[in-house]
Amino acid sequence: MVRNFFRTHRFTLAEVGCFTDGLSRGGEAKYWWALCVVPRDGRAVTAKGTTRWGPPSEKTLTVIRKAADRYQIPAELTGIEPADLRYLG
């Protein structure tokens, strides 16, 4: 489940394709790192509650990776904002 301010997205574990690095709009019209949940249908859902100025802590990435491993969900997280998305919007 991804709970954002205006919308909640619900997925079964079987529907989740992977976790990846994503972006969320932060203050001053800047984009910051956030976890992105990608269902098998390909649409990406940003978990805006994970938005962080600067890179996420290694502890945060470790917890996400452990959860992903537990449920056999690929999670290739670098903690780096995807540069190709940074200037959209």
> For residue 79, is it within any domain?
no
pLDDT for residue 89: 43
> For residue 77, is it within any domain?
no
Answer yes or no: is pLDDT of 22 > 60: yes
pLDDT for residue 72: 95
In this prediction the pTM is: 0.77
Q: Which two tokens stand for residue 78?
A: 């670098």
Burial class (CB in 10 A: 0-12, 13-18, 19+), 34: buried
Range of the domain at 19: 2-70
Query: In total, how many domains does the chain have?
Result: 1
Reported as a single tens digit per residue, the pLDDT across 30-57 is: 678 888 999 999 888 888 878 877 788 8
> For residue 26, is it within any domain?
yes
Most confident of 10-19, 52-61, 67-76: 67-76
> For residue 57, is it within any domain?
yes
pLDDT for residue 88: 46
> For residue 45, is it within any domain?
yes
Answer yes or no: is pLDDT of 11 > 80: yes
> For residue 88, is it within any domain?
no
* Cβ within 8 Å of residue 72, ≥6 positions away: none
